[in-house]
Amino acid sequence: MTETNTNEMASESSTLPARTIPLDRLEMRRLVQLDACTRCGECLKWCPVYDQDSRENILPRQKILDFLRIVRSQQSILNTIIENKLAPELAKKWIRKIFRLQEISEDEVRLFALNLYECSTCGQCQVVCPANIDTVNLWENIRELMVSSGYGPLEPQKALAKSVKSYDNPWQQPRQGRVKWARRAKKENLISDLPPDVRKTSAKILLFLGCTAVYDSNIRQIAIDTVNMLKILGIDYGCLGENEKCCGSVLLRMGDPEYERIASDNIKLLNSLSIETLVTSCSGCFKTIKQDYPQVGKLKFEVLHTVEFLHRLIEQRKLKFDVPVEKVITYHDPCHLGRASGVFDEPRAVIRAIPGLELVEMPRHGPYSRCCGAGGGVKAGFPDLQNRMAQARIKEAEQTGAQELVSACPFCYAGLQVGIGALNSPLVMRDMTHLVISALKKGE
Ligand code: SF4
Ligand code: SF4
């Protein structure tokens, strides 16, 4: 077991009966999936968390078994009789013994919650699972049940969730701070103009910047490069500025039902714009808006990741790179862009279109890309684990001999930087937008 959570468990240790996990929010298909696990153990070989913390209890098959054991015991009709005190004390004891009914304690459920949250929802287990279990949605759905019964999210993750609800961003920053990066970048001559307000232009393209690139000063380069790239390409676009709000991904991944309100508000706001396309450089925002929002409400526009947008321009012969970028790079597929959305070819096609650039793949790439550990609430809940996961990825990247590690997500950027720092690695972290800017502008 890892770090602070162990202490948290110990200090709040309780053998009292656990609160009942409500099953009313569990989708029917999840019940079928829970039953489909054959305990084959294939997920064991691939889980990036298990690589760093080899406890059987965090593995998909064990989490499924533990969840079933808890809910079977709590939801059994016999247990209902016992709990409703319809039987005398002695009879209750015997009913439990004869039917081997376990009383589920607070400690057991808390430990299960801890194991459930020690997962970056990277989706690797889903890719390798021979029973084709949709594990990511399963974990997120079970996390929802844990939140509604008061067992989730974990204590260190609560600030993140509270910040999204109070400030519309996960970084506990004021709403007005959302445009600070642009004002500062303009002052420093890193961008020529402030991004136009989409509601004051006739632009059909909305650039959705996402919270990480605008609030984290170490990551703002992604916002700067994306804006400069669109300017150089002559794209008529606009942004929402202070009115952009967190997409809610972090709440969804941690099982917080407040996500639905955020998604619904965002859908209304985005649908009210006269845009045809939403473009984002954040893989988390991309996956959430493109795949998860339609479960909440219909979108009136298409959603593209920047790499797809660039790829489309290349295909339409509207974009050609003239400036060679003489570098050896390796590419890290973000979980939300790659495994979750199937966008593997487009970033590679953009890389291939840049003259001079040499791509060396890591052994684990594409659908088998090793997660950096930043997502799913792991960075907030288990920072040491995330650090080790990032280091494992950086070691793989170093073995390719590449000078730069390139990705297409501000969250991965931040997550992988942790590994680069911990290992004092000579690798330079880059976002795809930086490569593109380098191939468009001389002297970058
Ligand atoms: S790979 Fe799938 S079927 Fe096999 S143990 Fe893991 S979750 Fe169960
Ligand atoms: S989603 Fe990723 S981290 Fe979570 S159990 Fe599956 S492989 Fe492990």
Query: CA quadruple 317, 323, 327, 329: dihedral positive or negative?
Result: negative
Q: Can you tell me whether residue 197 is helix, strand or coil?
A: strand
Question: pTM for this one?
Answer: 0.91
pLDDT in tens, 45-60: 999 999 999 999 999 9
Q: Which atom of ligand 1 is nearest to the CA of 41?
A: 5
CATH number for 167-314 (one of 3.40.50, 1.10.287, 1.10.238, 3.40.1350): it is 3.40.50
Helices and strands (DSSP H and E) totals, the chain: 22, 8
Distances (CA, A) of 220 to 7, 76, 142: 35, 52, 34
Please check the confidence at residue 443 and state whether its pLDDT lies above 50: no
Q: How much of the chain is helix, strand and coil, in % rounded to 5?
A: 55, 10, 40
**Cα–ligand 1 centroid distance for 42 (angstroms):** 6
Which range is least confidently modeled, 31-45, 46-60, 118-132, 266-280? 31-45
Three-class SS state of 17: strand
Instruction: Name the average pLDDT for the chain.
Output: 90
Q: What's the pLDDT score for residue 99?
A: 58
Ligand 1 centroid to residue 263 C-alpha, Å = 31
Do 275 and 206 touch, CB atoms closer than 8 A? yes
What is the Cβ-side half-sphere exposure of residue 256, based on CA atoms within 13 angstroms? Answer: 23
> Does residue 136 have its Cβ closer than 6 Å to ligand 1?
no
Q: What is the pLDDT of residues 380-411, one digit of tens each?
A: 999 999 999 999 999 999 999 999 999 999 99
Residue nearest to atom 3 of ligand 1 (CA): 37
User: What pLDDT is attached to residue 34?
Assistant: 87
Asked if 308 contacts 281 with a C-beta cutoff of 8 angstroms, the reply is no
The mean pLDDT value for 291-301 works out to 97
Instruction: Report whether residue 129 contacts ligand 1, using a CB cutoff of 6 Å.
Output: yes
Which tens digit of pLDDT belongs to each residue from 189-202? 999 999 999 999 99
Report the nearest-CA residue for atom 2 of ligand 1: 129
> Tens digit of pLDDT for each residue in 200-239?
999 999 999 999 999 988 899 999 999 999 999 999 999 9
Range 269-274, long-range pairs (CB < 8 A, 24+ positions): 269/240, 269/243, 269/245, 270/206, 270/299, 270/300, 270/301, 271/297, 271/298, 271/299, 271/300, 271/301, 273/198, 273/199, 273/206, 273/301, 274/202, 274/204
- Place 23 in a pLDDT band, splitting at 50, 70 and 90: confident
| pLDDT tens-digit readout, 307-323 | 999 999 999 999 999 89
Q: How far is the CA of 372 from the centre of ligand 1 (A)?
A: 22
**Could you tell me which CATH number the domain at 3-156 has?**
1.10.1060
- For domain 322-440, the CATH architecture is 3-Layer(aba) Sandwich (3.40)
Residue 424 has pLDDT above 60, yes or no: yes
Q: Residue 46 has what pLDDT?
A: 96
Q: What is the DSSP string of 82-150?
A: HHTT-S-HHHHHHHHHHTTPPPPBHHHHHHHHHHHHS-----HHHHH-TT---HHHHHHHHHHHHHHTT
**When comparing pLDDT for 18 and 179, which is higher?**
179
Q: What is the pLDDT of residues 62-111, one digit of tens each?
A: 999 999 888 877 766 556 666 665 566 666 666 666 656 667 888 889 99
Measured in angstroms, how far is the CA atom of residue 335 from the centroid of ligand 2? 11
Name the residue of 33, 57, 133 to mutate for ligand 1: max ligand atoms within 8 A of Cβ: 133
Determine whether the shortest distance from the Cβ of 129 to ligand 2 is under 6 A.
no
Pocket test for ligand 1, best of 40, 124, 126, 128 (most atoms within 8 A of CB): 40
Q: 444 falls in which pLDDT band (50, 70, 90)?
A: very low
Domain locations in the chain?
3-156, 167-314, 322-440
Between the CA of 135 and the centroid of ligand 2 the distance, in Å, is 8
Which residues sit opposite 261 in a β-bridge? none
Distance 442 CA to ligand 2 centre (A): 42
- Residue 35's pLDDT band, with cuts at 50, 70 and 90, is confident
% of the chain beyond a pLDDT of 90: 78
Residue identifier of the C-alpha nearest atom 2 of ligand 2:
122
The residue whose CA has the least distance to atom 6 of ligand 1 is 43
Q: Establish whether domains 167-314 and 322-440 are of one fold.
A: yes
Query: For residue 125, how far is its CA from the centre of ligand 1 (angstroms)?
Result: 7
pLDDT at 96: 62
- Probe residue for ligand 1, chosen from 42, 44, 65 as the CB with the greatest number of ligand atoms within 8 Å: 42
- The answer on pLDDT for 8 being more than 60 is no
Kindly state if the Cβ of 37 falls inside 6 Å of ligand 1: yes
Ligand located closest to 129 CA = 1
Model confidence band, residue 14 (pLDDT cutoffs 50, 70, 90): low
Structure confidence at residue 11 as a pLDDT band (50, 70, 90)? very low
Please work out whether the CB of residue 304 comes within 6 Å of at least one atom of ligand 1.
no
Average pLDDT over residues 421-442: 94
The pLDDT score that the predictor gives to residue 30 is: 87
